[in-house]
Every structure is written in structure tokens, then in C-alpha cells.
């Protein structure tokens, strides 16, 4: 239950960048993925996590995908500012088919592709494959948070709140989706789903997932806002109503379930 304390303490206090789906969301995605691993992939995950290290390079004793799912956020939070800038997102405009910039390949979809290749390559050092596993687990979750894959000109970075509630200091449209929407989405209990597909994934599958999440950002995060129009700044603080939150939570839950099953598919494919 530690995540509940962390989420409660951080609501409104922690910087928006600290979470992305929140620890709870990332753990839920990873738990669904682990339930859908093939026996071969599960055995390799156990080997890869056997000597896992925490962000201070000390033994973490973490053995499950859920327990390592937020490591990528943890290392960012103690790194020099901007060390991992852009790694967890890609600012694809929601009002265009054009993809956002990906400087030197450091953006969410391209990094998943890069780390999945390291994971697949058994000649890579064990530590590199351990860290590649943790990156893949985290970033597949992030990519499915619609605002990690699609934004309007505000980039989600505007003060926001829920009508009838207070505008909590530090809450932005982005962090509303990361935390408030995610917590609401998971009130329905553990994520559900069974992976039926064992076909090899195309190499660019993460980019396809990202484009789909970009379209979800347009349809569910932006089009449903009062007064939204393309490439126009929204009035701030952006206040959303309960109906908005309910539809956002239903969308977020579907996105997290897709993330969990696709993560399992990618790991099964990479760890045969
Ligand atoms: Zn992240």
C-alpha cells in the first residue's frame, strides 16, 4: 500500500514530471503484463531481475515487473536536470499527422525499440539487459498515457483542476491525467486482459502504438474539453467537470490494459 501514501503525499506537492501514470498506474500495467508472459519470458525476467539494483546502485531485492516499473522515473528524479529530458514522451501534435521531434532518438517510441533490441540480444552484458528490461516496462506504460504521445500547443503544461474541487498548486493538465485520472481509472480494480496474439511484432510496433495514443489524446483528452480548438491556447486554469473525468478514466483504463498486453507481447517476442 506504500504507493497510496506516496500518491497521497504527492498530490499537488510533487512536480508533474515525477510520475507519469503514477507509480500505481505503472505497477498495474506491469502486473497485467507479467500475468501474460510466456513461461520462457517469465523465466528470463526472473534471471534479469535476480541482481537488480536500485537508483543508488544498491541491491533492490525487486523481483517483479511491477516493482521495477517506476525505476526510470526514480533515476530521473536524482539525476542532473534534463539528463533524461524527452525520454518519456514524444510531443506529437494532436492536430496533425506529423510526428514530433525525436532528438538523437531520445523519445518514447524510439527508446522502446532501442531497448527491446538490447533485451533481445543475449550477447549484451547482463546489466545492460537488466536496465533495458526496466526501460521497456516503464516506457510502454508512458507511451499509452495519451498526453505522453499527443499534445496541443500548450504541451499539457497548463494549470488545471476539477470543477467543485480546488486547483491544487502544481497540478497541470498533464499531471491531472498522470495521477487524478489514473487513480480514478484503477478504482475498478486490477486491470484485466488475456494476450491472445503470439505473432512476431513488427519492428515499428511501438511507433504504431504511439500514433494510436496520439489519436486518443485528440479524441479523449482534448476534443472533450470545453472551448478546445486546434492550435489555440486554452483558457487557464483549465477546469474540467466530473463527466470529463469519468470519460477520461474509462479511456485511461483501456489504454493501461492495452499497455499491459502489448508489453507482454513485446517481452514474449524479445525473450523467447
Ligand atoms: Zn515516465
CB 245 within 8 A of CB 225: no
| pLDDT given for residue 169 in this prediction | 86
Q: Ligand 1 center to residue 67 CA distance, Å?
A: 14
The residue among 49, 131, 153 whose CA lies nearest residue 84 is 131
Q: How many CB atoms lie within 10 A of CB 270?
A: 21
Number of domains in the chain: 1
Positive or negative torsion for Cα 85, 92, 160, 255: negative
Q: How many CB atoms lie within 10 A of CB 272?
A: 11
Mean pLDDT of 180-208: 94
pLDDT beyond 50 at 63: yes
State the greatest distance between any 2 C-alpha atoms of the chain, in Å, as a whole number.
56
CA gap 178, 182 in Å, rounded: 6
Q: Ligand 1 center to residue 221 CA distance, Å?
A: 19
| pLDDT given for residue 67 in this prediction | 98
Tell me which residue has cell 498506474. 25
Q: Ligand 1 center to residue 50 CA distance, Å?
A: 23
pLDDT beyond 80 at 5: no
Q: Ligand 1 center to residue 82 CA distance, Å?
A: 13
Ion ligand 1 residue ranges (Cβ < 5 Å): 20, 73, 88, 142
Q: Ligand 1 center to residue 219 CA distance, Å?
A: 22
Q: Name beta bridge partners: 160.
A: 238
| pLDDT given for residue 21 in this prediction | 79
Q: Ligand 1 center to residue 75 CA distance, Å?
A: 10
| pLDDT given for residue 142 in this prediction | 97
Domain holding 225, by residue range, is: 2-270
Q: Which three cell numbers stand for residue 175?
A: 499531471
Q: Per residue in 153-192, pLDDT tens?
A: 888 889 999 998 877 888 999 999 999 999 999 999 999 9
3-state secondary structure of 267: helix
CB 18 within 8 A of CB 10: yes
Q: Name beta bridge partners: 161.
A: 239
For the ranges 7-11, 45-49, 75-79, the lowest mean pLDDT is seen at: 7-11
Q: Ligand 1 center to residue 58 CA distance, Å?
A: 21
Q: Ligand 1 center to residue 171 CA distance, Å?
A: 17
Q: Ligand 1 center to residue 66 CA distance, Å?
A: 14
- Which CATH number goes with the domain that contains 16? 1.10.575.10
Q: Ligand 1 center to residue 139 CA distance, Å?
A: 6
pTM of the full predicted structure? 0.92
Q: Which three cell numbers stand for residue 226?
A: 470545453
Amino acid at each position: 500500500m506504500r504507493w497510496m501514501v506516496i500518491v497521497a503525499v504527492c498530490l499537488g506537492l510533487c512536480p508533474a514530471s515525477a510520475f507519469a501514470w503514477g507509480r500505481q498506474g505503472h505497477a498495474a500495467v506491469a502486473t497485467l503484463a507479467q500475468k501474460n508472459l510466456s513461461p520462457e519470458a517469465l523465466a528470463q525476467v526472473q534471471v534479469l531481475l535476480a541482481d537488480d539494483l536500485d537508483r543508488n546502485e544498491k541491491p533492490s531485492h525487486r523481483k517483479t515487473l511491477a516493482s521495477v516499473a517506476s525505476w526510470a522515473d526514480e533515476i530521473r528524479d536524482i539525476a542532473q536536470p534534463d539528463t533524461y529530458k524527452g525520454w518519456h514522451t514524444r510531443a506529437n501534435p494532436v492536430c496533425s499527422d506529423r510526428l514530433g521531434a525525436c532528438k538523437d532518438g531520445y523519445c518514447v517510441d524510439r527508446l522502446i525499440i532501442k531497448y527491446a533490441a538490447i533485451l533481445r540480444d543475449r550477447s549484451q552484458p547482463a546489466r545492460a539487459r537488466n536496465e533495458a528490461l526496466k526501460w521497456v516496462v516503464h516506457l510502454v506504460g508512458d507511451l499509452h498515457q495519451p498526453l505522453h504521445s499527443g499534445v496541443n500547443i500548450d504541451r499539457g503544461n497548463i494549470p488545471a483542476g476539477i470543477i467543485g474541487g480546488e486547483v491544487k498548486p502544481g497540478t497541470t493538465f498533464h499531471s491531472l491525467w498522470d495521477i487524478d485520472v489514473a487513480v480514478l481509472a484503477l478504482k475498478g480494480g486490477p486491470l484485466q486482459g488475456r494476450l491472445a496474439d503470439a505473432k512476431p511484432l513488427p519492428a515499428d510496433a511501438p511507433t504504431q502504438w504511439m500514433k494510436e495514443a496520439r489519436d486518443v489524446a485528440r479524441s479523449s483528452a482534448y476534443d472533450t474539453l470545453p472551448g478546445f480548438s486546434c492550435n489555440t491556447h486554452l483558457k487557464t486554469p483549465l477546469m474540467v467537470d466530473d463527466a470529463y473525468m469519468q470519460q477520461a478514466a474509462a479511456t485511461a483504463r483501456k489504454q493501461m490494459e492495452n499497455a499491459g498486453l502489448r508489453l507482454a507481447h513485446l517481452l514474449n517476442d524479445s525473450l523467447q
